[in-house]
Structure 1
Amino acid sequence: IPHQVCDFSRHFAEEVICHFIETYGQGATPNPCIECNRRVKFNLSLLRSHAGEFDCLATGHYAQTEQDKISGRFLLKKSVDTKKDQSYVLYSLSQEQLKCARFPLGGLSKADVRKIAEDRKMTIAAKGESQDICFVPDGDYGAFIEASTGKIWPPGDIIDLEGNTLGRHRGIIRYTIGQRRGLGIAANTPVYVTAKSAGDNTVTLGPDSALYSKSLFASDINLVACARIDQPMRVTVKTRYLQTEQPAVVRQSGENTLHIEFDSPQRAITPGQAAVMYDGDIVIGGGTIMADES
């Protein structure tokens, strides 16, 4: 098959890796796959500037699209294989991007895809699964960030919920909400990272119960199934890629913000991650979880 190889490594570094580093430095936890899809893989202007004109863009994501017959909007839907569904990391695609997108694997299971590859004697049929970030294969985000920037993130105080100092951390980029291991703190009961503050360079620890919250604000929103949410809407929401959707009510609190109220408290809602809303198998939209309303 005639094809052209395009080098987007510089653009990937500027749009995805730099965003990843900046977000961690601000005390949040980003999802670089979402930024990569939005700014590189489905960046139609970038692709056309390198490869010329094309009619559609096909990728191996497990998701589906269709056009709503009433509104005319292009919808993003879950894949048939719900265990492999990747609609969560595609919620930020624009109407123009979805119109152009083709997901040929969306109607197949992963087992079906492997069988097709095996029948064609393709070596990739036996390729193992990976959940790692592609540019940090060993999972050591702190070491990667410091090596990439040449900057050492300073240690600071580990505090409890009352502000008492418990010890010292090794730089806030090495911690994330809900983390239990590698804290270097001796405690009689299990403790977890419940908050990080880049402003005063602290990591806060608390019991598991302190990780639960019933609501969140999200910014930098992208609505797929509708142009705007004019009244409270019942949805299900994922705040992490592998999380089971949870029932909630969403309100659009501003031009670029959402307020989501869950039916029951959710564990370890993490600033920087995405909150993605569904109505059945249709993606309503989503946004980036904020540390607070401001």
Structure 2
Amino acid sequence: MPALVLLGILCPMGVSAVPIQDEFDKNQAGNHPGVFPRWQGTPPVNQDLYPNLSDGINEPHPLPAYVNRDIYTELLKVEPVDQVQSKVFNADRFNRMQRIGVLGFENKTFAPFEDKSAGDVVSKQVYQELKTNKNYSNIIPPQLMEDVRLKIVKSPGSPADQKLSGGEKITPLVSGDRVDVIMIGAVSKYTDRYIDRYGEIQRSLASGLEFTAFLVDPRTREVIWGARFVGSQRPGVQNLGQHKGRWLSKEDFTRSAMKFVLKEFRNRIEPHNTSKKLFNE
């Protein structure tokens, strides 16, 4: 035993159990019992680039009135492309429509990032993007479809919550022959803020967005097409180069995202004269 003690004195171990202060030290040596040191370095995920990420549960889904949950579930199963999940539910109707009435989108943003303008901003960008497409004969803006929006909001119960019996008559959402389809949707995230690891709300570099859009037959309430966007402006030279190297505001990012959300309207619609002939048959 004395020999072992003598050996330990003559040949001390070269590894210390207590970390030495250096570039990578996180104050372990100076910690008080029970106190976990704050991480001062770069977090594993740059939260300011992903403001739409959340650790919350049971957050509101962007599911608008008169859209059945089964339809929404089908949409969620679609593999995202450019942060968009999109599905045509009735290709024949989708390719023949000419007159689209855009309704103000439902605002489902929530605290601490609630934005009361979210629904109006997103529906406005939908209208602006559709208006540039020459395949349609008429695009009606949200302000001229307010009566339809109010009818949806005030109607007691909806197909999203109840199943209509076979003999029940469905009241048209649009009187007369104003439009072929209506565009409805809901926004659940529209933000340029995030919560850091200390629980403080900070301004983010990127803007985050989550919303859905659906084309609905105003007479039968059949969903013809649907899309869901969830994401934020992507970092990287290529993505930033598309916007002259700048980070977009919430509204500008919504405008940019809409080109991907409504891509099928440019790619799948038949020529105007063919569609018009189909409607007159």
Structure 1 and Structure 2 fold alike (TM over 0.5): no
Q: Which has the higher helix share?
A: 2
Query: What range is the shorter-chain TM-score in?
Result: under 0.3
Q: Between the two structures, name the one with larger relative contact order (CA 8 Å, sep ≥ 6).
A: 2
